[in-house]
Amino acid sequence: KRQTDKAGNVTYYEYYTAAGRYGLLKKRVEGENSTDERTFEFDWYPSARQAKQEKLSGIKQTDYTYHPNGRLHTRIETDLTGRADFPIRTWTTTFTYYNPGTDTAVARMIVDGPRTAVDDTTITDYSPRGYITKVTNNAAGLTTEYQNHNNRGQPGRIIDFNGKKIGLTYTPRGWLDTI
Q: Per-residue confidence of the chain (179 residues) as pLDDT tens digits?
A: 899 999 989 999 999 998 888 999 999 999 998 999 999 999 999 888 899 999 999 899 999 999 888 889 999 999 988 776 777 889 999 999 988 667 778 999 999 988 877 788 999 999 999 999 999 987 777 999 999 999 999 999 999 989 999 999 999 999 999 99
pLDDT, tens digit, 9 for 90 and up, residues 167-176: 999 999 999 9
Check: CB of residue 144 under 8 Å from CB of residue 159.
Answer: yes
Half-sphere exposure of residue 54: CA atoms within 13 angstroms, side-chain side: 13
pLDDT, tens digit, 9 for 90 and up, residues 73-101: 999 999 988 776 777 889 999 999 988 66
Helices (H), the chain: none
pTM as predicted: 0.82
The terminus-to-terminus CA distance of the chain in angstroms comes to 53
The amino acid sitting at 105 is: A
Question: How far apart are alpha carbons 26 and 22 in whole angstroms?
Answer: 10
